[in-house]
Amino acid sequence: MLSQTDSPEVQVLKTVFGYDAFRGPQADIVRHVAAGADALVLMPTGGGKSLCYQVPALLRGATAIVVSPLIALMKDQVDALRQLGVRAAYLNSSLGAYEAREVEEALRHGELQLLYVAPERLMTPRFLDLLDRSEVSLFAIDEAHCVSQWGHDFRPEYLQLAVLAERYPHVPRLALTATADEATRREIVEKLHLQGARQFISSFDRPNIHYRIVEKNNALRQLLEFIRAEHDGDAGIVYCLSRKSVEESAAWLAAQGVSALPYHAGLGPEVRARHQERFLREEGLVMVATVAFGMGIDKPNVRFVAHLDLPKSLEGYYQETGRAGRDGLPSTVLMTYGLADVVSVRRMLASSTAPEPVRRVEGQKLDALLAFAESAQCRRQVLLRYFGEELSAPCGNCDTCQNPCETWDALVAAQKLLSAAVRTGNRFGAGHLIDILLGKDSPRVRALGHHQLSVYGLGSELSERQWRSVVRQLVALGYLTTDAGGHGSLIVTPAARALLKGECALRLRRDSDKPVKSARRPAAEPLGAHDEGLFAELRALRLQLAQAQKVPPYVIFHDATLKAMAESRPQTLTQLATISGVGQGKLERYGDAFLAVLQGHPPRGPVASGSGPLERSVAVAVGSKADTLEVTLQLLRGGLTIADIARERQLTAQTVSGHLAELARAGEVTPQEATGFSDSDLRAIEQAWQALPSDARGKLKPLREALGGAYDYDRLRVAHAWIARQ
């Protein structure tokens, strides 16, 4: 709840978004940008990047332009903001010509607080001309790593955004990303002309995520067992390397009773859009996809992400796994991994048409990923170190922490394997070399005469599975590499010379013959049985409300907010207002509906009343819908305008005018009293309303256009309600 000492940014955070306090560096970023300064923000997925530009946008007035690369993200963010009473819109190819013109007109007349736009549309001469004629409060460039040619998600159109610094030098610019190593950060600064910008680098740690990597052994069966054991009925994303694998995996999961859909660039746009929409709006759906899916997906309750194939880099892995647990609740990321994956990725890199320097960097990034996969250390420590961050102690929430790896002196074993590769001309893959070491009398070994090699049969001390672990670790350490043609041949590198000569030690992770199942360690206390039942009821109500409005359920309330409701069981609107994520707009819109469910479950102990040293208006405002209208009415009759009331109550002008419109429909106020309109103004508005087609009279936009834009939306909303009542 608000107090007299709350700063303006905290007031917006509480009343609009329903959060009591900023997290990490959010408050510093918001104040910095709201003051008109440039910034580069690195913050993990789920860390609250969007608040870093949404709050300054509401504080600065005018319209904030948000550059976003994906249609899904724009629609998602706008749906969520509109639920909060924020005037937001987007411009992209999904809009028809008439809808796009409406948005452009709203921008030109200063009727929007945030506008999301794709970079290719932003840079058109027509849109830049529109910006020249509009009042812009700030530019927020989301997914800023797309500007980097060295990154995992380069988009050429992002390079053109440098013009914003030249064309609008007095408008603050904010670049945001969840994934950027030091080289990528330097490129963002250079390409976007942010040399003078302050950099805010948050921790990359996602403590609620449990990291797990397993040796691939029938990956689909491993995935199914994982889902059934830990995430039955949860939403998840499964990544595959090829379109064919996506199709086959989705079909197989569906046949096993898992609600799963495919997504890849080879599907028609209508199919992709339909599948994405279902994923966003339905509960418990699993999307099987290539990496074409996911960036910009704002679904907060993705409980797991699984990689059935090896990603191309640690940046890609971090970005994709970061789509799990955006709401901060416990989530799991699983990767199945084998040597064949390394061969496949090497083949893709070898066939790339990128310049040689880019291919070389991509190879180095793959090497870093392999080292991560084969490490015996805490996964989180290795991952964070890659991004320049040190974690002082093992995390306790990854597979290597929960099942610590034993290491062993592997020098002699490595020498045997490397010798086998050298003596066979560096022309054979892991399977054949292991057959030689195990002394298998296979037709191929005998036909090639490899049964006569001195290393034949010298590796019987290890099993086939253990030898494959040795191979993977030697590849990860750079002592072996796969051929550029992607045929799987293992080639001894110059770095292995010291090993072959016995000039250095080598310790490897010991993998047992039987795969160890690591139990997930939750990052938060699970709900009790009674709370789980209430949580399910609240989710069912949320889904019902979302379907009625055709929006994703999480734009109404996140799972974390419903979980808090189930645990504390508020019984009044005042108590409900104390739940994190319940802002003023959502309290007014949904409070009664959720209380109807909550009041059927009495609290087990005392519930905080939410009372304290509150302003009278705010304390009353959360009491009931009738009370909040009464507060607005009393302030109006005290001589305050719509803008004055909005400032006094820390609400948007749109929310206040909505209160007054409702009062006008009830006959409690007249338009003249509420807006200052003269009688002649009201007659002109009524005449324009009468001239409209009957099917357009219920909408505000056609009325304003019929009046030539002479009246602002907030005051016109009240007059429109009064005339419709008459």
Domains of the chain: 8-201 (3.40.50.300), 209-336+383-393 (3.40.50.300), 338-374+404-515 (1.10.10.10), 529-608 (1.10.150.80), 624-725 (1.10.10.1390)
Nearest to 155 by CA among 216, 67, 214: 67
Q: State residue 472's pLDDT score.
A: 83
pLDDT band at residue 605 using 50, 70 and 90 as cut-offs: low
Q: State residue 415's pLDDT score.
A: 92
Burial class from Cβ neighbours inside 10 Å (0-12, 13-18, 19+) for residue 13 reads buried
At CA 120, angle to CA 114 and CA 122, rounded to 5? 40
Q: State residue 526's pLDDT score.
A: 59
Q: What's the token pair of residue 391?
A: 């974690």
Q: Which residues pair with 625 in a beta bridge?
A: none
> Over 60: is that where the pLDDT of 3 sits?
no
Condensed to tens digits (0 to 9), the pLDDT of residues 654-694 reads: 778 878 887 887 778 888 888 888 888 888 888 888 888 87
At CA 340, angle to CA 354 and CA 405, rounded to 5? 110
Using CA atoms, how far residue 173 sits from 43, 195, 398, 593, in Å, is 16, 12, 37, 40
Q: State residue 522's pLDDT score.
A: 45
555-594 CB burial, b ≥16 within 10 A, e <16: bbbbbbbbbbbbbbbbbbbbbbbbbebbbbbbbbbbbeeb
The fraction of the chain above a pLDDT of 70, given in percent, is: 90
Condensed to tens digits (0 to 9), the pLDDT of residues 480-498 reads: 887 655 567 888 989 889 8
Contact 506, 409 (CB under 8 A): yes
Nearest to 64 by CA among 140, 11, 166, 165: 140
The one-letter code for the residue type at 595 is L
Q: What's the token pair of residue 329?
A: 């609740």
Which pairs with CB-CB distance under 8 Å and at least 24 residues apart come from 436-442? Answer: 437/462, 437/467, 438/464, 438/467
Q: State residue 152's pLDDT score.
A: 53
Condensed to tens digits (0 to 9), the pLDDT of residues 47-96 reads: 788 999 999 999 988 899 999 887 767 887 898 899 888 999 999 888 88
Condensed to tens digits (0 to 9), the pLDDT of residues 367-400 reads: 888 888 888 889 999 888 888 888 888 989 999 8
Condensed to tens digits (0 to 9), the pLDDT of residues 153-169 reads: 677 788 888 889 989 99
Nearest to 128 by CA among 187, 174, 72, 67: 67
> Over 60: is that where the pLDDT of 611 sits?
no
Q: State residue 619's pLDDT score.
A: 37
Q: Regarding predicted confidence, which is higher, 353 or 189?
A: 189
Q: Regarding predicted confidence, which is higher, 421 or 673?
A: 421
Of 25-39, 279-293, 541-555, 591-605, the least confident: 591-605
Nearest to 436 by CA among 428, 469, 497: 428
Using CA atoms, how far residue 84 sits from 17, 81, 496, 556, 596, in Å, is 7, 5, 60, 9, 21
Query: How confident is the prediction for the chain on average, in pLDDT?
Result: 84
> Over 90: is that where the pLDDT of 38 sits?
yes
Of 146-150, 252-256, 310-314, the least confident: 146-150
Q: State residue 487's pLDDT score.
A: 64
Q: State residue 523's pLDDT score.
A: 42
Q: State residue 128's pLDDT score.
A: 92
What is the arithmetic mean of pLDDT over 438-451?
A: 90
d(CA 26, CA 52): 6
Q: Which residues pair with 198 in a beta bridge?
A: 39
Q: State residue 224's pLDDT score.
A: 95
pLDDT band at residue 211 using 50, 70 and 90 as cut-offs: very high
What is the arithmetic mean of pLDDT over 98-112?
A: 89
**Alpha helices per DSSP H over 599-624:** 616-621
What is the arithmetic mean of pLDDT over 410-423?
A: 91
For the CA atoms of 21, 25, 27, 28, the dihedral, rounded to the nearest 10 degrees, stands at 160
Burial class from Cβ neighbours inside 10 Å (0-12, 13-18, 19+) for residue 471 reads buried
Q: State residue 524's pLDDT score.
A: 47
Contact 9, 59 (CB under 8 A): yes
Q: State residue 27's pLDDT score.
A: 92
pLDDT band at residue 513 using 50, 70 and 90 as cut-offs: low
Q: State residue 707's pLDDT score.
A: 86
Q: State residue 424's pLDDT score.
A: 92
Q: What are phi and psi of 482, to 5 degrees?
A: -100, 155
> Over 70: is that where the pLDDT of 457 sits?
yes
pTM for the predicted model, two decimal places: 0.68
Q: State residue 626's pLDDT score.
A: 52
The fraction of the chain above a pLDDT of 90, given in percent, is: 28
Residue with tokens 């940046």: 315
Contact 310, 345 (CB under 8 A): yes
pLDDT band at residue 212 using 50, 70 and 90 as cut-offs: very high
Condensed to tens digits (0 to 9), the pLDDT of residues 265-287 reads: 888 888 988 898 889 888 899 99
d(CA 432, CA 367): 24
Q: What's the token pair of residue 226?
A: 């994982």
Q: Which helix (H) or strand (E) holds 442?
A: none
pLDDT band at residue 199 using 50, 70 and 90 as cut-offs: very high
Q: State residue 421's pLDDT score.
A: 92
pLDDT band at residue 530 using 50, 70 and 90 as cut-offs: low
